Amino acid sequence: MTESKSNGVATSNTSGSVPLIIQGKDVTTANSFTVRNPAGGDLWQATAASEEDAIRAVEAAQAAFPAWSKTKPAYRRDIFLKAAELFEKRKDELKHYQIEETGAEDMFVDWILPLTVDQLKEVGGKCSSIQGTIPISTEEGRSAMIVKEPYGVILGIAPWNAPWPLGCRAFTYALAAGNTCVLKGPELSPRSYYAIVDIFREAGLPDGCLNLIFHRPEDASNITNALIAHPAVKKINFTGSTAVGSIIAAVAGKHLKPIVTELGGKASAIVLEDADIKKAASACTIGSFLHAGQVCMATERVIVHLSIADSFIAAFKESTNNMYAPSSPAPLFVTGTGAKKTKALVDSALAKGASVILGNPKESTEPDATSCRMRPIILKNVVKGSGLYENESFGPVVAVYTFETEEEALAIANDTDYGLSGAVFTENLAAGLRVARGYETGAVHINGMTIHDENSLPHGGVKKSGFGRFNGLAGLEEFLRSKVVTWKD
């Protein structure tokens, strides 16, 4: 194992293995894994942590906690604002990393990078909002106060698909609240995550407050279990699939540790009969196919009023062909395994009676494990009980349904184990609010696509889409605990 201290100078040099960052130092070990470009070819090696390395990261965060938890809000704020400045300064470098590692298109990266800069400014501004209360004690001659305190060491486990906002929120709110952090980055986009932590190091975050590890896929269970079990780790946050989130929540529960999760989704867009059809079709196109559908809030069901179904479908097809022209390269999955899984769901749905509205069924079902590409496909008649109806596709697939009453539309939208996001399109705000109240989701967007994230608004799901909230004041409160102090007057 070797350690080195970064000189804090931004660089796009990608030679050598992507290091871990522990106690403010770059760390390389004897083990590594290969990072591939979804478009083809190997990119670089990334250092693989052992259990011992993971424990060292926790110990570094634990050692940094006493001093960091006593820092003043203005000190923390200035670090966040400096990090925001560095994100903007290094945006071309960061964009390059994300495209290389995840295959993201320009439109997606150009959205989430400014979103992340805004997050850092937003969180920086909230550092001074932490406050307790002084309630009136019911006992005569006694007074009380409630103070808010950080937990200690927070373990953040973040996904590959939107490294900047999702990677940052795994630790920014926790840091702002006075906690220290271990960030477990994904093996599919390690250089993107290294850049995030390097930016905070350059921004002046004290050594040990934020530590970064990666590991080989085969080591995931042992290392994750060791991190969660460590007595210094007081809370966990996880963003990723429902299947993995269930496992991590179970391990956290075994050790009686709280956890915040944002998991899978099966978002619906309900199009009422008075909707602006072209605007709704455009929003459904982007909501369904942005980043090859590899977004937890992606639109997977479009539920349109029967009276406008033909007009909407025509507009939906036109919008999809304009944005994702058949002559352009097909959207990229991050791995061939993901593409194969989504194509298998489409193939199974077609075998159970689904039909194609737009797309080439052969191209969208060919189980080629080596291919990371898949063109958008719009289906209808996807029946309950099929894999595509029940499960998140996490790909460029959407199914269209029709309804005649709002109750029918909501019954279809809510007929899922997930509940992260939803949308409704209408020119009648009262109708939109009425439908929003009937949705079983963490968020509903009226006349906007299901993919929506604002740093000032709490973000999270219901049912199997997770629990707890990221973002906003709610996101800050997740990483603070209450302490009651009483005294005799």
At residue 199, φ and ψ (nearest 5 deg) are -65, -45
User: Residue 10 has what pLDDT?
Assistant: 40
DSSP lists the bridge partners of residue 45 as 34
Indicate whether 273 pLDDT > 70.
yes
Q: Give the percent of the chain with pLDDT over 90.
A: 92
Of the pLDDT bands very low, low, confident and very high (cuts 50, 70, 90), residue 9 is very low
User: Could you give the count of Cα atoms lying within 13 Å of 151 in the half-sphere of its Cβ?
Assistant: 24
At residue 128, φ and ψ (nearest 5 deg) are -90, 5
Q: Which residue, 423, 18, 461, is CA-closest to 238? A: 461
User: Residue 416 has what pLDDT?
Assistant: 97
Indicate whether 216 pLDDT > 60.
yes
Q: What mean pLDDT is predicted for residues 333-357?
A: 93
User: Residue 59 has what pLDDT?
Assistant: 98
Q: 61 and 182 in contact (C-beta within 8 Å)?
A: yes
Sign of CA dihedral 231, 233, 237, 241: negative
Q: 316 and 285 in contact (C-beta within 8 Å)?
A: yes
User: Residue 361 has what pLDDT?
Assistant: 79
Integer Cα distance of 188 and 46 in angstroms: 10
Q: What mean pLDDT is predicted for residues 192-211?
A: 98
The tens digit of pLDDT for each residue in 72-97 reads: 999 999 999 999 999 999 999 999 99
Indicate whether 15 pLDDT > 90.
no
The tens digit of pLDDT for each residue in 120-172 reads: 999 999 999 999 999 999 999 999 999 999 999 999 999 999 999 999 999 99
Measured at the CA of 56, the angle between CA 53 and CA 62, to 5 degrees, comes to 150
> Token pair of 409, please?
């539309």
User: Residue 1 has what pLDDT?
Assistant: 62
User: Residue 370 has what pLDDT?
Assistant: 55
Indicate whether 66 pLDDT > 50.
yes
Indicate whether 298 pLDDT > 80.
yes
Indicate whether 360 pLDDT > 90.
no
Indicate whether 417 pLDDT > 70.
yes
Integer Cα distance of 118 and 486 in angstroms: 39
The tens digit of pLDDT for each residue in 166-191 reads: 999 999 999 999 999 999 999 999 99
The three-state secondary structure class of 487 is strand
> Token pair of 465, please?
């889409």
User: Residue 162 has what pLDDT?
Assistant: 96
Integer Cα distance of 382 and 199 in angstroms: 46
Tell me how crowded residue 281 is: count the other CB atoms within 10 A of its CB.
Answer: 24
Indicate whether 6 pLDDT > 80.
no
Of the pLDDT bands very low, low, confident and very high (cuts 50, 70, 90), residue 60 is very high
The tens digit of pLDDT for each residue in 422-450 reads: 999 999 999 999 999 999 999 999 999 99
Integer Cα distance of 307 and 430 in angstroms: 20
Q: What mean pLDDT is predicted for residues 387-393?
A: 95
Q: Give the percent of the chain with pLDDT over 70.
A: 96
Q: Which residue, 447, 354, 432, 363, is CA-closest to 398? A: 354
User: Could you give the count of Cα atoms lying within 13 Å of 82 in the half-sphere of its Cβ?
Assistant: 16
DSSP lists the bridge partners of residue 28 as 2
* DSSP β-ladder status, 299-305 and 355-358: unpaired
Indicate whether 8 pLDDT > 50.
no
Q: What mean pLDDT is predicted for residues 397-406?
A: 98
Q: 410 and 439 in contact (C-beta within 8 Å)?
A: yes
Residues catalogued as catalytic? 262, 296
**Distance from chain centroid for Cα 237:** 11
pTM for the whole thing?
0.94
Of the pLDDT bands very low, low, confident and very high (cuts 50, 70, 90), residue 366 is low
Q: Which residue, 219, 220, 255, 261, is CA-closest to 234? A: 255
From 5-19, 70-84, 120-134, 269-283, the region with the lowest mean pLDDT: 5-19
**Pseudo-torsion of CA 170, 154, 173, 11, nearest 10°?**
-50
Of the pLDDT bands very low, low, confident and very high (cuts 50, 70, 90), residue 368 is low
**Strands ordered across the beta sheet of 233-239:** 2-5, 25-28, 20-22, 210-213, 180-184, 153-157, 233-239, 259-262
- Chain mean pLDDT for the chain: 94
User: Residue 362 has what pLDDT?
Assistant: 75
